[in-house]
Chains A and B, each alone.
Chain A
Amino acid sequence: MGHCYGPFLFREEKLSLFVEFPKMGRADLRDFKKGIDESFKNFTREYGEAIEHFFDPLLYFLVWLEKLFLNTPWPIIMVAIAILVYFGSRSLKLTIGAILAFLVIGYLDMWEDTMATLAIISVATIVCISVGIPIGILMARSNKAQTLITPILDVMQTIPSFVYLIPVVMLLGIGKVPGLLAVCIYAIPPIVRLTNLGIRLVDKDVMEASEAFGASYSQKLLGVQIPLALPNIFAGVNQTIMMALSMVVIASMIGVKGLGVPVLRAISNQYLALGVMNGLAIVVLAILFDRVSQKFGKRLQAHTESMK
């Protein structure tokens, strides 16, 4: 079978085009990359400070929350967690489980890191919800917005986190805010997508009835679409929290305190126990957030139960 390419032989110079990919000249390529880097650096120099100040309120809020969690005596935090878990889930089993888990976390000397992680996750979730839901509503309202935003969300979800860490760090340096931003970029797509989906899935007949009774746009949105999309929006919030938690280690690379820091240390020093312990603490937080928010979401749908 060795000669099956025979008829496709070309003259030497033509052949080279097929063997080697036609590429940009080395110098051109270097200039091209350099140009992009330079212009971004200029942009950073020009606007970096302004952008940093723009995020200042977020930074203050995060620092304040972190201090609140760390400075409050642990028994009070424990009671607060128990109350939140109970009223979120109405499940005694889950509440006791949460208390036990946090006791173990504290006993194994991970309390402070856990509180720091809790703070950044809370702030990231609040940011994602307050930005993501309006974007989702916009997408549901206009097909143009949907076709525009969907690919951006795809990029945000699939691009390796390290890639967008570069411009974020160039722009804002190392610290809490760039870490928070990185977490949000990764964690915001599910809530946007599921808000959009939830609103689009609202029964057309119900919307038509609302329209026929003369509901205005905001009456339709707040009275019909959002309430009926709530289960989906809640699934989005849940996913957002999960994804934010999974970014904790990467965020710690650019200066975010929390459970990610010891994990990072464990990787570079091959500390198995340290890595596993902190990793499991992240898992515990994830499971708690997940179960509580799911049970809460289910309770919002009392109306789907039929005859008692």
Chain B
Amino acid sequence: MSDIKVAIKDLYKIFGSNPASMIEKVKNGISKSDLLEKYGHVLGLDNVNIEVKKSQLQVIMGLSGSGKSTLIRHINRLIDPTAGSILVDGDNILSMSQAELRAFRRSKASMVFQKFGLLPHRKVIENVSYGLTIQGINKQEAFEKSSKWIESVGLIGFENHYPAQLSGGMQQRVGLARALATDADILLMDEAFSALDPLIRSDMQDVLLSLQEKLHKTIIFITHDLDEALKLGDNIAILRDGAVIQSGTAENIILHPADDYVTDFIKDINKARVLKVSSVMANEDSIKGPEIEDTVIIEDALQIVSQSGSNGAVIAKNGKKIGTVSLTDMIMAIARSTKNTDSDTVYR
């Protein structure tokens, strides 16, 4: 249990004039639309349970209105829940006083925002050191610490620019550096890359992953983009109408979608880039081919197999053969699910 960093337990959030009075109805299973129509309350989060392990990158994904931004704001209590608890390192942050909460926000959890949230009247270096100056660290020391982070997000030379003078991607680098500068072990990222164009977004994802390799922070990353979720997440929770409908690794979600909603979600993604050969492994002696590691993704395996001209590959783990995989199986695994083909062709 000790490696659980953030535990969200039985979390409910209801928006409206008297949320507390609605909690019983929600627990008894009233639907979101009924709650709105009959009682004028909006169900924000519905019995959310998520455990985030230390040093993991937990992605919470969902479409707009699914409650993901509401959820992440509970973790540093920018929003208070209607019911439930949130434990960080075993401490319930809901029982914190205002002063304790400020200390928690200053040193334990920092945040990156979709719209950057930079201070427009302060220079890049002042923005990056904002969290430190809030803690009362003197300017010079804060600047010294900050320049290290400015370097690590690749913004050297822009220290004395104002945010308005930077492009969106660069502004979000400032946002990321600002969040990292406080040395908080938890990083909350609210659609941090959603406002960026695709190339810059992919760039920033790489920046984040390479930083994470060194820093091992506990990151909670909100996104509506499944490709982003699959690329970044050690673990992914899918949120719909305020409830978690599936939680697991990328591979797990693609191979075993919990319901039609998730199936629908994953049908358009590039499975070859997510699935590993081990997930389609069989054991047939007829298959001969090059030897590949079990953690290789199908995209790479296909290339290796087709270049060798064989009908499949031998899968090995630590140099020992553990199974085989055929070319056809790999192709079938990554082909788009054919279940709903008829209706699909209509909107395509």
Q: Which A residues form the contact surface with B (CB < 8 A)?
A: 203, 205-206, 208-216, 219, 223-224, 227-228, 302-308
Contact = CB atoms under 8 A, between A and B. Distances in A.
A303 B105 contact: no
B69 to A, nearest CB: 11
A215 B134 contact: yes
Given A214-B102, A214-B135, 12 more contacts: A206-B118, A209-B119, A213-B131, A216-B102, A219-B134, A223-B119, A228-B120, A302-B162, A303-B163, A305-B162, A305-B165, A308-B165
27 contacts: A205-B117, A206-B119, A206-B120, A208-B113, A208-B117, A209-B117, A210-B130, A211-B105, A212-B78, A212-B105, A212-B111, A213-B130, A213-B134, A214-B102, A214-B103, A214-B104, A214-B105, A214-B135, A215-B102, A215-B134, A216-B102, A228-B119, A302-B162, A303-B122, A303-B163, A305-B165, A307-B165
B106 to A, nearest CB: 4
Nearest to A216: B102
A306 B117 contact: no
B78 A306 contact: no
Contacts of A214: 101-107, 131, 134-135
Interface of B: 76, 78, 101-107, 110-111, 113, 115-122, 130-131, 134-135, 162-165, 178, 182, 188
Nearest to A206: B117
A306 B76 CA distance: 33
B116 A303 contact: no
A300 B177 CA distance: 26
A305 B103 CA distance: 35
Contacts of B110: 212-213
B165 A304 contact: no
Contact of A303 (B78, B104, B162): B162
B113 A306 contact: no
B226 to A, nearest CB: 25
Contacts of A223: 119
A213 B164 contact: no
A205 B134 contact: no
The 5 A-B pairs with the shortest beta carbon distances in the complex, nearest first, are A209-B117, A214-B105, A214-B106, A303-B162, A212-B111
Contact of A212 (B76, B103, B122, B164): B76
A208 B110 CA distance: 12
Contacts of B115: 205
A306 B107 CA distance: 33
A203 B120 CA distance: 10
Contacts of A210: 117, 119, 130
B189 to A, nearest CB: 12
B41 to A, nearest CB: 22
A169 to B, nearest CB: 45
A226 to B, nearest CB: 10
B164 A303 contact: yes
B171 to A, nearest CB: 12
Contacts of B164: 303-306
A308 to B, nearest CB: 7
A105 B118 CA distance: 49
